[in-house]
Amino acid sequence: MKSSRPLSLIVWALLTSAAILAEPARAASRDLLDLSLEELMNEPITSVSKRATRLGDAAAAVSVISAEDIRRSGFTSIPEALRMVPGLNVARVSSNEWAISARGFNNEYASKLLVLVDGRAVYTPTYAGVYWENQDLVLEDVARIEIIRGPGATLWGANAVNGVINIITKSAAETQGWLSSNAYGTEEQPSSSLRYGGTSGEHLHYRVYARYFDRDRFEDSNGQPTEDAWRSMRGGFRLDWQPPGDDELTVQGDLYSSDVGQNWTSPAISAPVNLDLTLMRDNHGGNLLSRWTHRYSDTSSSSLQIYYDHLQEIYAGCIEKRDTVDLDWQHRFELTARQDVTWGLGYRRSSDDFPLTSAIVFTPQARTMSLYSVFVQDEMSFAQDRLQLTMGSKFEHNDFTGFEVQPNLRALWKLDADQAVWASVARSVRTPSRVDHDVRAAMLWTSGNPPALLTIQSNPDIRSEVALTYELGYRSQLNPTLSADVATFYSTYDHVRDVVAGNPYFETSPQTAYLTIPMIPVTEASAETYGAELSLQWTPTESWRLNTGYTLLRMQTHPVLTLATPGRNARHQIQLRSYYNVSRDFELNGAVYYVDHLESLAVPSYVRLDLGVVWRPVRELELGLSGQNLLDARHLEFATLRSATRTEIPRAVLGRITWSF
């Protein structure tokens, strides 16, 4: 019986597509004229890429942070800007570290959120997470940040379990001329960007940029400095070539170098003592990406993307060097008048080396991992486009767990022109990282006689974490000034990764005998999460806009886990953002965020208030003054297990001059 199901699905699909063919062609031009300018700007000319769905028509929990949101927020970094997304849990760990996740499992090494910058994955296979401190850009050149909460694995592949963040920069054509942006304040000392965009001929646009910032250290609850100051320098370019015709070529690249101050509590090798280290992590890296898109017709296009990425990271106890090459091909075409098919092939090769190791040892020291992937997705529309069905799957092969299948079925039903309901069910996986599979890391000495050394010992039999997610959402333009978006979800997770203590055994080091307690990554637990994300946008007058958001998250694990604890995630979050234009040249912006307490880290709940004014005396010049965290001198948002130091997030004042001409 079970095997007849796919067959009946195919028969059903064939029958419906025949029915689709018989329907009249869509009256698309009339529909487009009903869209607002903002909506039009999100409208792809052709659906070239994986992300070219209209926001209002997406059968997924999608949010977008626009360039205007970033400008008005006064935020100076990408991770901070993500606070504006309802459904994301953004907790700043120190001046240069963040714990960011959607829908649970938050951690400074949160592993279930995939992040891409202009199509380049910045999720690291080393520990399964994102080096947020390396993800910096000229914020004025960011076009938008698209956030998909919930699984995106069918298109984006493994590790897009709880969400995908796409950071998309403006094209070179949109960033012509000079831009100089300088901010100085209690934390930014300074933060400066310089960019020039030009053209060569009529069809080639380019920009080059340089950026530097120096961020002050934060303090702990006693006002003691926490030595987490950081400095970063970066530069890069982007070329966009759009010759007349159907081809487009983008080439872009960046180079960066950072000194990142972090606190680590690390065990000494020679004696049973723990050292509180202040490490200046000297990290650097660079990337080069090229993307070619070709349009065969209005309904058919393809893109080929290739990138190379290099990075070097220093930790307490080891150095990482990593080189990644990634190839991605996508093709989209109209199968019938009512069916769009997108399919693609991908190959990624990531080679690492951990040449200098002491407390952390990788075996093998160097490893090259290959990832092969194929995906196919079919979008079908029925009943005059009122019902849309999307089904697809990604098929991947990785070196640790072999084949992974990540299917997804989504449906969107437009109740009328202003309302839609959507639902989705998806399976996604989080594949093991190098740390899960290959590491032996001395973590901490425990007191006692004999002394015991807690040591993470990898588990080569570790499995992928598997999530099944059910979502139901509703979107409505209630009236011309008010729109609402609700997403609810229920997810179950199997083979959840945790760490358990194995049988202790004696080791004898040159000096003394000690006990090793192995901490072994296992994937035996299960978990479930459910919750809701609500956002409302209200434009009471032409010059005033309000955004509110509420996030509810509940999480349970079986059994109770050491690392993936529900108590590291805020149960309730509320935000309210206000944009007010006093006049054409003068803006008042404000935001309030409430984040619930984190039980297992003893982090109390907090309310954050940000206020800002922006004045444009002439069009080329923008002056901004913003205050962040105005309600308290400093507060705790998260606590890392890596160090006993608990860094608090201070009140900050910032002045900014942006000059473009």
Q: Bridge-partner residues for 171, per DSSP?
A: none
Count of residues in contact with other proteins, rule CB under 8 A? 36
Q: Is 38 in the site for other proteins (CB under 8 A)?
A: yes
Select 43 or 461, whichever has its Cβ closest to other proteins: 43
Torsion of CA 168, 173, 177, 178, to 10 degrees: 10
Nearer to other proteins, 108 or 622 (CB): 622
Owner of token pair 């000229």: 138
Whole-number Å distance between alpha carbons of 637 and 259: 23
Structure tokens of 81? 């800007």
Q: Is 513 exposed, middle or buried (0-12, 13-18, 19+ CB in 10 A)?
A: exposed
Comparing CB distances to other proteins, the nearer of 278 and 483 is 483
Could you tell me if 632 and 610 are in contact, meaning their C-beta atoms sit under 8 angstroms apart? no
Restricting to residues 174-233, which ones interact with other proteins according to CB under 8 A?
A: 174, 176, 202
Q: Is residue 28 part of the contact set for other proteins (CB under 8 A)?
A: yes
Q: Which residue, 171 or 551, has its beta carbon nearer to other proteins?
A: 171
Q: Partners of 302 in the beta sheet?
A: 294, 331
The DSSP H or E segment spanning 610 is strand 606-615
Binding span for other proteins by CB under 8 A among 28-36, 336-344, 485-493, 495-503: 28-36
Tell whether residue 560 is a contact of other proteins (CB under 8 A). Answer: no
Decide: 45 and 299 in contact? Cβ < 8 Å. Answer: no
Question: Is residue 398 within 8 Å of residue 158, measured between CB atoms?
Answer: yes
Which is nearest to 629 in space by CA: 657, 653, 646, 645? 653
Residue 363 near residue 350 (C-beta atoms within 8 A): no
**CB neighbourhood size of 114 (10 A):** 25
Least CB distance to other proteins at residue 120 (A): 15
Rounded to a whole number of angstroms, the minimum distance from the CB of residue 45 to other proteins is 5
Stretch that binds other proteins, among 30-38, 100-108, 444-452, 460-468 (CB under 8 A): 30-38
- From candidates 7, 22, 33, 417, binder to other proteins by CB under 8 A: 33
Under a CB-based contact definition with an 8 Å cutoff, are residues 529 and 551 in contact?
Answer: no
In the complex with other proteins, the residue whose CB is nearer, 480 or 559, is 480
Among 168, 280, 335, 592, the residue binding other proteins under the rule CB under 8 A is 168
Which range, of 31-39, 121-129, 256-264, 312-320, touches other proteins by CB under 8 A? 31-39
> Is residue 417 close enough to count as binding other proteins by CB under 8 A?
no
Residue 241 CB, shortest distance to other proteins, in Å, is: 13
x/- site string to other proteins, residues 514 to 553, per CB under 8 A? Answer: ----------------------------x-----------
Residues numbered 613-632 forming contacts with other proteins, rule: CB under 8 A: 619
Q: Is position 477 an interface residue for other proteins (rule: CB under 8 A)?
A: no
Residues between 40 and 99 with contacts to other proteins, criterion CB under 8 A? 40-46, 48-49, 52, 68
Beta-strand runs (E) in 298-437: 300-315, 318-336, 339-353, 360-362, 366-382, 387-398, 402-416, 419-430
In the complex, the smallest distance separating the C-beta of residue 473 from other proteins, rounded to whole angstroms, is 24
The stretch among 171-179, 281-289, 312-320, 465-473 that binds other proteins (CB under 8 A) is: 171-179
Residues 435, 436, 440, 444, Cα dihedral to 10°: 90
Task: Tell me how far, at minimum, the Cβ of 203 lies from other proteins, in Å.
Answer: 8
Give the interface segment with other proteins, choosing from 33-41, 280-288, 546-554, 596-604 (CB under 8 A).
33-41
* Least Cβ distance, residue 443 to other proteins (angstroms): 45
Q: Which is nearer to other proteins, 170 or 234 (CB)?
A: 170
In whole angstroms, the minimum distance from the beta carbon of 107 to other proteins comes to 33
Q: Looking at 431-464, which runs of residues are DSSP E strands? A: 439-446, 452-457
Q: Using the rule CB under 8 A, is 582 a contact of other proteins?
A: no
Q: Which stretch binds other proteins (CB under 8 A): 23-31, 443-451, 469-477, 568-576?
A: 23-31
In angstroms, give the least distance from the CB of 584 to other proteins: 5
Q: How far apart are CA 32 and CA 44, in angstroms?
A: 12
How far is residue 327's CA from residue 290's CA, in Å, rounded to a whole number?
10
Residue of 545, 610, 620 whose CA lies nearest to 585: 620
Shortest separation between residue 622's beta carbon and other proteins, angstroms = 12
Q: How far apart are CA 326 and CA 308, in angstroms?
A: 7
Nearest residue to 225 (alpha-carbon basis) of 278, 283, 281, 280: 278
Measured in whole angstroms, the distance separating CA 78 from the mean position of its chain's CA atoms is: 10
Answer yes or no: are the C-beta atoms of 424 and 412 closer than 8 Å: no
- How many other β-carbons are positioned within 10 Å of the β-carbon of residue 624? 21
Contact of 661 with 621, CB cutoff 8 Å: no
Q: How far is the CB of 594 from other proteins (least distance, A)?
A: 29
Contact flag: residue 11 with other proteins (CB under 8 A): no
Binding site residues, other proteins, CB under 8 A: 28-30, 32-33, 35-38, 40-46, 48-49, 52, 68, 143, 168, 170-171, 173-174, 176, 202, 242, 248, 293, 298, 542, 581, 584, 619
